């Protein structure tokens, strides 16, 4: 095959999706941190799947690529999904207005793909999906190819070589003895395209029922609307009490699709919007949503956890119409809080010289993983010991859905016995991403 139109491109990508599904668990397991939110494969699969489900069939390859790119941008989830959507955004630029794409049109579009993705990431990291894309293509772009099949064979070989070398680029991958999960997902996509040429059957895509997320509805005009990502019924109720106007309920991975941010932004009726992503993996999706909606006066705060979102909201004054003061107070709430998040390791691993054992408790202090402990109290003490408690006044404790009443009582006694001079507030958060979340401010 020397060229492809829009329908053939869709056929190739359906094989990519099939390959992503086949490798999804493997890709998820490649995530470095041994916590239950390892979902790179799932995010990439859902992003591509959303695009293929919602893009209109077009004969012209340029028209189909443009439509597919837009839908992938809308449906992108997590950092890996957003970066993948940006790669396809660049591909669509390279195929613009073309009825069919030759091998060299496709090469040009892939170059624009990685260039676009690099621009979308504030601090690109080498040894990641970006490197696999860039170096994989650069290594083959000047070779001569008679057919697309020849090109994909060579490209896959090149990408695999780069992928296998990612542990030498990122020390954290080498220590954990894994290749980059996002790069492996991208390789799976092109490996799927190559598989198309060895198959006669055409894969059809089953429609999926999308989980409906619950939003508070804007009933009247407001000066400021707060959009907040949440997990757990107790935390959701708390956010509502503190003044959150729109709450996006996330699953345990805390990764929200760009489309959910888009729908929420479009539901607002306010002069200003303040967004609390409450997970660093949502930052790219938030920015992408703002770009797509062309919304004005939207401020994305650096809330990297549910507890930082809580302290941001706790600082706002619902009676005030001073936007600058509201924004400043919310930022102050985030900057003043130290966070501790505790979960169970789902696999053995070694990171930064620390051995993590499956089933043991890991405490994250300000998103940095500490040691692996058999007892949740030992993990909690390890986390609190890393925080300078001088001038601290408040401790907020969110109990997770999987924490037993017995453990809650032990934690309660430990906290009051050792840190009773702080103002302590306890919430049945019912979050399922961490057994225990604590904020100290």
3-state secondary structure 6-28: HHHHHHHHHHHHHHHHHHHHHHH
pLDDT at 205: 45
pLDDT at 199: 57
* 7: pLDDT strictly greater than 80: yes
Domain boundaries for CATH 3.30.1180 within the chain: 338-440
Which among 29-43, 139-153, 218-232, 353-367 has the top mean pLDDT? 139-153
Residue 348 token pair? 């053995």
pLDDT at 421: 93
Between 319 and 155, name the one with better pLDDT: 155
**What rounded mean pLDDT belongs to the chain?**
91
pLDDT at 209: 34
pLDDT at 216: 56
CA separation, residue 77 to residues 46, 84, 190, 246, 434 (Å): 7, 10, 20, 19, 20
β-partners of residue 88 are none
CATH number, domain 222-334 = 3.40.50.510
Domain boundaries for CATH 3.40.50.510 within the chain: 222-334
**Which tens digits make up the pLDDT trace of 263-304?**
999 999 999 999 999 999 999 999 999 999 999 999 999 999
pLDDT at 202: 43
**Which tens digits make up the pLDDT trace of 331-370?**
999 999 999 999 998 888 877 778 888 889 999 999 888 8
Residue 213 token pair? 């997320």
Residue 418 token pair? 């050792």
pTM, two decimal places: 0.87
Mean pLDDT on 200-218:
45
CA dist 261 and 283 (Å) reads 11
Residues above pLDDT 90, as percent of the chain: 80
Q: CATH number for the 338-440 domain, one of 2.60.40, 3.40.50, 3.30.1180, 3.30.1370?
A: 3.30.1180
CB 300, CB 277: distance < 8 Å: yes
Among 126, 37, 133, 50, residue whose Cα is nearest residue 90 = 133
pLDDT at 149: 93
CA dist 94 and 108 (Å) reads 6
Quick one: pLDDT band at residue 36, thresholds 50, 70, 90?
low
Least confident of 309-313, 370-374, 379-383: 370-374
Place of tokens 């309660």: 412
* 140: pLDDT strictly greater than 60: yes
Q: CATH number for the 3-196 domain, one of 1.10.287.3510, 3.50.50.60, 1.10.10.60, 1.25.40.340?
A: 1.25.40.340
pLDDT at 73: 96
**Which tens digits make up the pLDDT trace of 153-197?**
999 999 999 999 999 999 888 988 889 999 999 999 999 999 998
CA dist 342 and 436 (Å) reads 5
pLDDT at 198: 79
Backbone region of residue 97 per phi and psi (left: phi > 0; alpha: psi in -120 to 50; beta: other values): left
Domain boundaries for CATH 1.25.40.340 within the chain: 3-196
Beta-strand relationship, 368-373 and 349-351: unpaired
CB 183, CB 132: distance < 8 Å: yes
Quick one: pLDDT band at residue 203, thresholds 50, 70, 90?
very low
């Amino acid at each position: 095959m020397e060229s492809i139109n829009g329908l053939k491109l869709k056929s190739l990508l359906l094989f990519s999706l099939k390959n992503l599904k086949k490798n999804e668990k493997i890709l998820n397991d490649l995530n470095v941190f041994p916590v239950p939110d390892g979902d790179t494969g799932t995010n990439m699969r859902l992003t591509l799947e959303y695009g293929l489900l919602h893009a209109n069939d077009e004969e012209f390859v340029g028209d189909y690529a443009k439509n597919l790119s837009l839908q992938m941008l809308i449906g992108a989830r997590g950092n890996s999904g957003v970066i993948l959507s940006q790669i396809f955004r660049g591909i669509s630029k390279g195929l613009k207005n073309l009825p069919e794409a030759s091998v060299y049109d496709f090469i040009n579009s892939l170059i624009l793909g990685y260039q676009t993705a690099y621009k979308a990431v504030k601090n690109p990291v080498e040894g990641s999906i970006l490197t696999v894309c860039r170096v994989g293509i650069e290594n083959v772009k000047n070779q001569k190819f008679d057919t697309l099949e020849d090109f994909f064979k060579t490209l896959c070989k090149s990408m695999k070589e780069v992928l296998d070398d990612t542990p030498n680029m990122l020390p954290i991958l080498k220590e954990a003895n894994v290749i980059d999960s996002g790069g492996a997902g991208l390789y799976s996509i092109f490996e799927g395209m190559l598989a198309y040429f060895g198959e006669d059957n055409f894969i059809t895509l089953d429609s999926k029922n999308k989980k409906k997320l619950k939003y508070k509805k804007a009933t009247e005009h407001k000066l400021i609307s707060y959009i907040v990502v949440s997990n757990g019924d107790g935390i959701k109720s708390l956010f509502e009490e503190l003044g959150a106007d729109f709450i996006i309920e996330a699953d345990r991975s805390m990764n929200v699709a760009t489309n959910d941010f888009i729908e929420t932004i479009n539901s607002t009726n306010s002069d200003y919007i303040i967004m609390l992503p409450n997970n660093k993996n949502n930052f790219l999706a938030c920015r992408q949503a703002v770009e797509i909606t062309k919304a004005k006066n939207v401020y994305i705060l650096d809330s990297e956890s549910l507890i930082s979102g809580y302290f941001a909201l706790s600082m706002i004054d619902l009676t005030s119409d001073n936007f600058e003061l509201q924004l400043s107070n919310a930022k102050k709430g985030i900057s003043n809080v130290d966070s501790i998040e505790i979960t169970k390791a789902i696999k053995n691993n070694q990171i930064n010289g620390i051995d993590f054992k499956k089933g043991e408790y890991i405490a994250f202090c300000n998103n940095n993983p500490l040691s692996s402990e058999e007892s949740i109290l030992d993990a909690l003490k390890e986390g609190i010991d890393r925080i300078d408690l001088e001038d601290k006044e408040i401790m907020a404790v969110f109990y997770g859905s999987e924490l037993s009443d017995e453990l809650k009582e032990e934690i309660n006694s430990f906290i009051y016995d050792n840190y009773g001079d702080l103002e302590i507030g306890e919430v049945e958060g019912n979050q399922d991403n961490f057994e225990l979340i604590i904020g100290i401010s």
